[in-house]
C-alpha cells in the first residue's frame, strides 16, 4: 500500500467559494460566473509559512492533511487581497480651496500654471515632518485597508528636493512596516518643476539624475521610478534621461502618460520595458501597439477622470483588443483624486467606462500585481503565493463593483496572519 506522508498546515479555511483570478486553471468550472473570476465553488484553502499551500474543492482535500487551525468561512467568498497599484498617499495639507476654484471655472492646468496644483501640495509637504506625514497618511491608508487592500504602491513627488523626497519615502516605509502590507515605494521626483528650478527644467532633471535618485536608491528607499510626462510637467526627452538613470540603477520604471494631452509617453515607457503607463485618456494607436509589444500594463485611474470631470475616456476597448493587461487604482492624491476607496474605483470603471465587474476585479487583483511586477508573489489565489486573503460576505463577487458603501471584509489575512477588521 502506498500511503502519502501526513501534511500539517498552519491554517485551513473551509466552506468558502474562491474567486482565484486564475482563469486558465479554474475558468470554466461554473457557467454561472464569468470565467475571469476563476471560481472554485465549495472550496478550501490552506496556508503554511505565510503562503498558499493548497487550494481546491473542499471535497478534494487530501486525506493525509490537517491544520493547526481551521476557519469556517460560512459559505462566503474568498478573494485575493486587493492591490492599489498607483497612489500618492503621503502628502501634507489638502486642496479643498482649489476644488472650489475649479468649480468656479478655473481649469486644473491653469491652477498648476499659476503656482498652485502640485506645487501647493509641495509647499505643504515640505513644511510637514516625517512623523506628521505618517500621521496624516495613516487614516487614508486605513480607509483603503478597511476595504480589503493588502498591497499598495506609494509615490513620492510632493517634496521635489532631496530632503523632502526622502521624508516622503521614509513616511511610506514606516506605514508599510506598521501595517505589514506589501509595499512598493516609487520615486516621483519628476512630478512637477519645483519652485527652486522655475525656468530650468533641464537643470532640475540634472539634479534628479545626478543626486536625488542615486542617493535615495543607495539609501534603499526606492523600489521603482515614475514621472509626469505632460505639457505642464516633463517632456519625453527629459523623462528619457530619468529612465536611463533608473535603468542604470536597476530600478523598474512607469509613467503618468497621456493624462491631459498626447505626448507619446506611453510609447516611451514601453520602450524602456516599463511596468506600467498610467492614466492614458489621450493614448493613441501607436502608444497601444508599443505597450502591447513591450508587455506594459495600462493603469487606468477612474478617480482622476471623474474628479477632473474629464470627458475623454481612455481607449478601453482598443487596449483590450490589443491584449494589454488593464489595472485600476485609486490615484489617491490631494489634487486630482482625493478618493481613498478602491471599491469606488470598481464602481466607476464599470459605470463610467463599461468595464465588466470581472474585468474591474481582475484589474485590482491579478493585474494590479502585474503593474507592480508582483505577479509571482500575489494578486491571485495560487499555490506558493502570499496568503494575502480577504473573506467577503457576498452572494457573488460582482457585488463588490455593483454596490458602493456598506460592504466590508469579514476577515483579512496578510501573509497568513489574521488582521483586525474594522467594522
Ligand atoms: N497626475 C495626477 O493626476 C496626479 N499627479 C499626476 O501627475 C495629481 C497630483 C496633484 O494634483 O496633486
Ligand atoms: Fe498619479
The predicted-structure confidence for 264-273, as pLDDT tens digits, reads as follows: 999 999 999 9
Using an 8 Å Cβ cutoff, are 119 and 194 in contact?
Answer: yes
The predicted pLDDT at position 146 comes to 97
| pLDDT per position as a tens digit, 25-56 | 987 667 889 999 999 999 999 999 999 999 99
Report residue 96's pLDDT band, with 50, 70 and 90 as the boundaries. very high
Please state the rounded mean pLDDT for residues 158-174.
98
Please, which pLDDT band fits residue 62 given cuts at 50, 70 and 90? very high
Could you say which ligand is closest to the alpha carbon of residue 155?
Answer: 2
Please report the pLDDT score of residue 423 as a whole number. Answer: 62
pLDDT digits over 170-193, tens only?
999 999 999 999 999 999 999 999
CA-CA distance, 132 to 221, in Å (whole number)?
19
DSSP codes, 241-265: HHHHHHHHTT--BEEEESSSS--SH
1: pLDDT confidence band, cut at 50, 70 and 90? very low
CA of 43 to the centre of ligand 2 (A): 38
Pocket test for ligand 1, best of 231, 336, 337, 338 (most atoms within 8 A of CB): 336
Residue 8 CA to residue 222 CA, distance in Å, equals 38
User: How many CB atoms within 10 Å of residue 8?
Assistant: 12
Residue nearest to atom 3 of ligand 1 (CA): 336
What percent of the chain stands above pLDDT 90? Answer: 93
**Protein residue closest via CA to atom 10 of ligand 1:** 335
Cβ atoms of residues 152 and 181 within 8 Å: yes
* Ligand 1 atom with the shortest distance to the CA of 158: 12
pLDDT at 308 over 80: yes
Query: Which range has the worst mean pLDDT, 56-60, 113-117, 187-191?
Result: 113-117
Within 13 A of 409's CA, how many CA atoms are on the CB side? 26
Q: How far is the CA of 43 from the centre of ligand 1 (A)?
A: 42
**What confidence tens digit (pLDDT) does each residue in 196-230 have?**
998 999 999 999 999 999 999 999 999 999 999 99
Closest ligand to residue 234's CA = 1
- Predicted local distance difference test score (pLDDT) of residue 18: 98
Q: For residue 4, what pLDDT band results from cuts at 50, 70 and 90?
A: confident
Indicate yes or no: pTM above 0.95.
Answer: yes
| CA 48–ligand 2 middle distance (angstroms) | 36
Pocket (CB within 6 angstroms of ligand 1): 117-118, 121, 191, 228, 256, 259, 304, 331, 333-336
Residue 374's Cβ-count burial label (10 Å; 0-12, 13-18, 19+) is buried
Mean pLDDT of the chain: 96
Question: What is the number of residues in the chain?
Answer: 423
Task: Extract the C-alpha cell encoding 421.
Answer: 477588521
Quote the CA–CA distance of 71 and 62 in Å, as a whole number. Answer: 17
Banded pLDDT at 2 (limits 50, 70, 90): low
Least confident of 25-29, 130-134, 388-392: 25-29
For residue 3, pLDDT beyond 90? no
pLDDT (average), residues 106-116: 90
**For residue 228, which atom of ligand 1 is closest to its CA?**
7
As a whole number of angstroms, the distance between CA 332 and CA 37 comes to: 26
Distance in angstroms (rounded) separating the CA atoms of residues 327 and 284: 18
pLDDT of residue 31: 82
Separation of 118 CA from ligand 1 center, angstroms? 7
Which of 86, 280, 331 maximizes ligand 1 atoms within 8 Å of its Cβ, making it the mutation to test the pocket? 331
Q: Ligand 1, from 159, 228, 261: best to mutate by most atoms within 8 Å of Cβ?
A: 228
Best residue among 335, 337, 338, 339 to mutate for probing ligand 1, ranked by most atoms within 8 Å of CB: 335
**Confidence class for position 420, pLDDT limits 50, 70, 90:** confident
Query: Ligand 2 mean position to 45 CA, how many Å?
Result: 35
**Alpha helix (H) ranges present in 114-152?**
118-126, 130-145
**Per-residue pLDDT tens digits for 331-344:** 999 999 999 999 99
pLDDT of residue 167: 98
What is the per-residue pLDDT for 421?
A: 86
Amino acid at each position: 500500500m502506498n500511503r502519502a506522508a501526513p501534511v500539517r498546515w498552519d491554517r485551513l479555511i473551509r466552506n468558502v467559494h474562491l474567486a482565484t483570478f486564475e482563469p486558465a486553471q479554474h475558468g470554466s468550472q461554473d457557467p454561472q460566473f464569468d470565467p475571469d473570476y476563476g471560481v472554485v465553488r465549495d472550496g478550501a484553502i490552506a496556508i503554511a509559512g505565510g503562503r498558499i499551500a493548497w487550494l481546491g474543492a473542499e471535497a478534494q482535500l487530501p486525506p493525509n492533511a490537517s491544520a493547526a487551525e481551521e476557519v469556517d468561512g460560512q459559505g462566503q467568498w474568498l478573494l485575493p487581497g486587493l492591490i492599489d497599484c498607483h497612489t500618492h498617499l503621503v502628502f501634507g495639507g489638502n486642496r479643498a480651496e482649489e476644488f472650489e476654484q475649479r468649480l468656479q471655472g478655473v481649469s486644473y492646468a491653469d491652477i498648476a500654471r499659476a503656482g498652485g496644483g502640485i506645487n501647493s501640495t509641495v509647499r505643504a509637504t515640505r513644511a510637514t515632518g516625517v512623523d506628521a506625514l505618517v500621521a496624516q497618511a495613516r487614516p487614508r491608508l486605513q480607509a483603503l485597508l478597511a476595504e480589503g487592500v493588502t498591497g499598495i504602491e506609494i509615490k513620492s513627488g510632493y517634496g521635489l528636493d532631496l530632503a523632502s523626497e526622502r521624508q516622503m519615502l521614509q513616511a511610506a516605509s514606516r506605514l508599510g512596516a506598521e501595517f505589514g502590507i506589501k509595499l512598493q515605494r516609487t520615486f516621483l521626483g519628476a512630478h512637477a518643476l519645483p519652485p527652486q528650478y522655475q525656468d530650468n527644467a533641464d537643470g532640475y532633471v540634472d539634479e534628479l539624475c545626478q543626486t536625488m535618485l542615486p542617493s535615495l536608491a543607495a539609501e534603499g528607499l526606492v523600489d521603482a521610478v515614475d514621472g509626469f510626462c505632460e505639457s505642464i510637467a516633463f517632456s519625453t526627452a527629459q523623462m528619457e534621461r530619468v529612465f536611463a538613470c533608473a535603468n542604470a540603477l536597476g530600478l523598474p520604471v512607469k509613467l503618468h502618460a497621456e493624462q491631459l494631452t498626447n505626448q507619446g509617453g506611453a510609447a516611451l515607457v514601453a520602450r524602456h520595458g516599463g511596468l506600467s503607463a498610467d492614466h492614458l485618456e489621450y493614448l493613441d494607436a501607436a502608444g497601444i501597439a508599443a505597450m502591447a509589444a513591450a508587455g506594459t500594463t495600462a493603469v487606468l485611474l477612474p478617480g482622476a477622470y471623474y474628479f477632473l470631470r474629464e470627458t475623454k475616456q481612455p481607449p478601453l476597448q482598443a487596449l483590450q483588443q490589443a491584449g494589454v493587461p488593464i489595472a485600476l487604482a485609486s490615484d489617491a492624491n490631494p489634487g486630482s483624486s482625493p478618493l481613498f476607496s478602491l471599491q469606488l474605483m470598481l464602481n466607476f470603471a464599470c459605470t463610467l467606462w463599461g468595464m465588466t465587474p470581472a474585468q474591474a476585479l481582475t484589474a485590482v487583483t491579478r493585474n494590479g500585481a502585474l503593474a507592480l511586477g508582483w505577479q509571482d508573489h500575489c494578486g491571485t489565489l495560487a499555490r506558493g503565493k502570499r496568503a494575502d486573503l480577504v473573506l467577503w460576505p457576498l452572494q457573488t463577487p460582482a457585488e463588490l463593483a455593483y454596490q458602493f458603501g456598506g460592504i466590508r471584509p469579514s476577515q483579512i489575512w496578510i501573509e497568513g496572519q489574521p488582521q483586525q477588521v474594522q467594522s
